[in-house]
């Protein structure tokens, strides 16, 4: 088993090499091991995928529950893992710092902090507080003796606030506060993605698989995107297939979904004996 420092070095190197790499998001140990078997080079957790897998809504799990899940994903494979930590379980920068100390202790090679509050009365943190939250996480990760990729997320587009100017302003502030990777989930157009990439000097993460996103890995790489994640999309694809099959049984009394199944042997062979 590689050490955390070794995984951190590998993860940083992925962000430094030429072109973009894909970091898919498993939601449990089994899917993490399948993605490693398929040849992906790093993994990221998904808060929504994890929540759905344990029968809860996104952002309703406790920090202890998430950290237990994170450790399980880290220990599932040899790959470096970055964690989706939502808003880091609190508003105050001191809470963010403690969350990142726990994230480091869980064996991660990276983790993200977002500027969405989770509250309906104030969807996005004021840019000043949001920046201080990123800085608090950075102070923890920069003090380590090995690379830890801190991702700062600007959530405007995810909540339907398509304000490119404010999004760029926020990402630039987060960059100055110490973020290693910048991420504005919800971007879908070539123009918006290019504007983000050319406005910052840190690696940019883009989420693929979402509605409206038609750009390929090669096209995103050509725009200067460094990292491509899938968020909850793989989990939702799996749950969608499950629900469609279950509905067919319940509504029609038929089992035609069985014609498209991956074979038992192929799946079984993906796991160690």
pLDDT in tens, 89-121: 999 999 999 999 999 999 999 999 999 998 988
Residue 109 lies in a domain: yes
Provide mean pLDDT across the span 142-163. Answer: 96
pLDDT in tens, 169-220: 999 999 999 999 999 999 999 999 999 999 999 999 999 999 999 999 999 9
Residue 38 lies in a domain: yes
List Cα–Cα distances, 248 to 55, 81, 252, in angstroms: 22, 37, 5
Task: Indicate the pLDDT class of residue 167, thresholds 50, 70 and 90.
Answer: very high
CATH number for position 18? 3.20.20.60
Q: Please say if the pLDDT value at position 159 is more than 90.
A: yes
- How far is Cα 271 from Cα 56, in angstroms, rounded to an integer? 27
Residue 237 lies in a domain: no
- Residue 120's pLDDT is what? 86
Q: Please work out, in degrees rounded to the nearest 5, the angle formed at the alpha carbon of residue 182 by the alpha carbons of 45 and 62.
A: 35
- Residue 74's pLDDT is what? 98
Provide mean pLDDT across the span 56-61. Answer: 96
Q: Please say if the pLDDT value at position 272 is more than 90.
A: no
Overall number of domains in the chain: 1
Q: Please say if the pLDDT value at position 273 is more than 90.
A: no
Domain hosting residue 131, numbered range = 4-232
Q: Are 181 and 203 in contact (CB under 8 A)?
A: yes
What residues form DSSP beta bridges with 124?
Answer: 116
- How far is Cα 171 from Cα 177, in angstroms, rounded to an integer? 10
Provide mean pLDDT across the span 45-67. Answer: 97
Provide mean pLDDT across the span 246-268. Answer: 96
Task: Indicate the pLDDT class of residue 1, thresholds 50, 70 and 90.
Answer: confident
- Residue 80's pLDDT is what? 98
Provide mean pLDDT across the span 55-75. Answer: 97
Percentage of residues of the chain with pLDDT beyond 70 = 100
Residue 49 lies in a domain: yes
pLDDT in tens, 208-256: 999 999 999 999 999 999 999 999 999 999 999 999 999 999 999 999 9
Residue 259 lies in a domain: no
Q: What pTM does this model have?
A: 0.97
Residue 189 lies in a domain: yes
């Amino acid at each position: 088993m590689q050490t955390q420092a070794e995984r951190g070095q590998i993860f940083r190197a992925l962000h430094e090499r030429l072109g973009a790499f894909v970091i898919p998001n498993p939601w449990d140990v089994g899917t993490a091991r399948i993605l490693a078997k398929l040849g992906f080079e790093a993994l990221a957790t998904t808060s929504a995928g994890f929540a759905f897998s344990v029968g809860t809504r996104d952002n309703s799990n406790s920090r202890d529950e998430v950290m237990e899940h994170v450790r399980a994903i880290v220990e599932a494979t040899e790959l470096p893992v970055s964690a989706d930590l939502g808003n880091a379980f609190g508003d105050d920068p001191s809470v963010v710092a403690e969350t990142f100390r726990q994230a480091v202790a869980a064996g991660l090679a990276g983790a993200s902090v977002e500027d969405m509050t989770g509250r309906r009365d104030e969807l996005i943190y004021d840019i000043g507080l949001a920046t201080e939250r990123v800085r608090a996480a950075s102070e923890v990760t920069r003090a380590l003796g090995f690379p830890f990729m801190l991702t700062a997320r600007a959530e405007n587009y995810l909540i339907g606030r398509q304000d490119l100017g404010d999004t760029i302003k926020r990402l630039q502030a987060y960059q100055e506060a110490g973020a290693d990777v910048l991420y504005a989930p919800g971007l879908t157009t070539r123009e918006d993605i290019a504007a983000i990439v050319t406005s910052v000097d840190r690696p940019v993460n883009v989420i693929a698989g979402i509605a409206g996103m038609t750009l390929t890995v090669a096209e995103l790489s050509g725009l200067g995107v460094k990292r491509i994640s899938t968020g909850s999309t793989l989990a939702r694809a799996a749950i969608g297939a499950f629900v469609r099959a279950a509905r067919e049984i319940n509504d029609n009394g038929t089992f035609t979904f069985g014609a498209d199944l991956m074979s038992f042997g192929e799946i079984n062979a993906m796991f160690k004996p």
